[in-house]
Amino acid sequence: MPTLCKKCLLTLLTSAAFCLPYALVSAETVRPQLTGTWTNASLTSMARPQGLETLVVSEEDAKKIAAGTPIAGVAPGEFDANLPIDAETGAPPVGSRDFGLAAYNSFWVDPGSALARVKGEFRTSYIIDPPNGRVPRLENPKITFENKNFGYRYLTGIGDSSGPEALPLAERCLIGFGNTAGPGMMGTLYNSTYQFTQTEDYVVILVEMAHDARIIPTYDSAEEARANRRPDVLSQWFGDSVGWYEDNVLVVETTNIKPLQMENSSVPISNNGRIMERFERHSSSEIVYQFIVEDDNLYSQPWTAELSYHSTEGPVYEYACHEGNYAMPGILAGARRAEMEGG
């Protein structure tokens, strides 16, 4: 019987591992196979809605909850995905609640049609701890962030237009809204598709909303990962993320997120806080994603959220936000005109 060389055997084992649903074999470690195209679109929100007591519901109840879930603040029955926009009717009145919502071209809205499904269970919130499904915010936080309040501006059209920097980050096309790239990565109104690329030394997550990419170096241990952090002065979008593998799970620790990002983050942390993410391949078509938020400046206890990425054929669309961002000059020109007219 012919003898295989060590390198040939390793190549054979590594190649064969790609046929397995959740393991990649190498000479030193077993790690989850994450490469692929995935989506986390769902109608589940991070915090559990009032009136819902349990995290897990039956499929029948999940369908009822999904049918009654508002989309971007528009109640079911008021939102028609096929409703054309009549250019002859003009813009909604200033300050009206439907500014930017019912008037939005609903063709693009695609948040999903069902509650989040994690390991076969339908979930009523992403938060799994505390058990009540609520963010355990301190009544008197030790640190505060200026809030540009993108949500209110989106609902009403009212906001600071003194200059480009006054507009929220998403309007400026700097990063996506809704924490799509995280850390604490969650789906939003549309474009909730992700492309994972995994190599020996990196995991790269390309986020469809809104062109963001997380490049996460991976190391042999938590100690080595932490020893290779960037200097604190290099605060950047999505923070300083380093990863390692534990028990067939990719663990990612993130600190030092750019403070400007925290103005509209669904998962704010201060410079003393950290976010721990865990990516576990549950099956050939599902990655269970968990993130733990620790920051005693803002929260009374650490809290944990969990959702799943499900495989999809995609495609991942280019989100050319700046190329289509005609609203920016319009907003600023309108504000200057209003100032000239004493409005």
DSSP 14-33: HHHHTTSSS-EE-SS-EE--
- pLDDT at site 91: 63
- Kindly list the distances between the CA atom of residue 240 and the CA atoms of 45, 194, 235, 271, 298, in Å, as whole numbers in the listed order: 26, 20, 7, 11, 20
Q: Average pLDDT for residues 167-172, to the nearest whole number?
A: 84
Q: Average pLDDT for residues 309-331, to the nearest whole number?
A: 86
Least confident interval from 1-15, 152-166, 188-202, 302-316: 1-15
- pLDDT at site 154: 65
- pLDDT at site 151: 66
For residues 315 and 259, give the distance between their C-alpha atoms in angstroms, rounded to a whole number: 32
Q: Give the tens place of pLDDT for each residue, 53-104.
A: 999 999 999 999 999 998 776 777 665 554 555 667 766 666 555 555 554 5
- pLDDT at site 327: 79
High-pLDDT (> 90) share of the chain, %: 58
Q: Average pLDDT for residues 128-136, to the nearest whole number?
A: 97
High-pLDDT (> 70) share of the chain, %: 79
Q: Average pLDDT for residues 116-122, to the nearest whole number?
A: 98
For residues 168 and 100, give the distance between their C-alpha atoms in angstroms, rounded to a whole number: 15
Q: Give the tens place of pLDDT for each residue, 173-191.
A: 889 888 999 999 999 889 9
Q: Average pLDDT for residues 6-26, to the nearest whole number?
A: 42
Q: Identify which of 242, 249, 291 has the alpha carbon closest to the alpha carbon of residue 269.
A: 291
- Say which residue the tokens 């380093």 belong to: 242
The reported pTM is 0.84
- pLDDT at site 170: 83
Which DSSP letter does residue 269 get?
Answer: -
pLDDT at 27 > cutoff 80 = no
Q: In terms of pLDDT, which residue wins out, 110 or 283?
A: 283
Q: List phi, psi (to 5°) of 131.
A: -60, -20
Q: Give the tens place of pLDDT for each residue, 204-252.
A: 999 999 889 999 999 999 999 999 999 999 999 999 999 999 999 999 9
Residue 113: CB partners within 8 Å, gap ≥ 6?
43, 66
| Cα-trace Rg, the chain | 22
The pairing of strands 24-25 and 213-219 is: unpaired
- pLDDT at site 19: 42
Q: Average pLDDT for residues 261-266, to the nearest whole number?
A: 86
Q: Average pLDDT for residues 307-327, to the nearest whole number?
A: 88
For residues 98 and 74, give the distance between their C-alpha atoms in angstroms, rounded to a whole number: 8
- Say which residue the tokens 């963001």 belong to: 212
156-171 as b/e: b if 16+ CB within 10 A: bbebebeeeeebbbbb
- pLDDT at site 233: 92
- pLDDT at site 84: 54
Q: Average pLDDT for residues 107-134, to the nearest whole number?
A: 94
67-81 as b/e: b if 16+ CB within 10 A: eebebbebeeeebee
As a whole number of Å, the end-to-end CA separation of the chain is 89
Residue ranges covered by each domain of the chain: 38-324
Task: For the chain, give the mean pLDDT.
Answer: 85
Q: Average pLDDT for residues 20-32, to the nearest whole number?
A: 58
Least confident interval from 117-121, 195-199, 266-270: 266-270
DSSP H or E stretch at residue 117: strand 116-118
DSSP H or E stretch at residue 56: strand 56-57
- pLDDT at site 1: 42
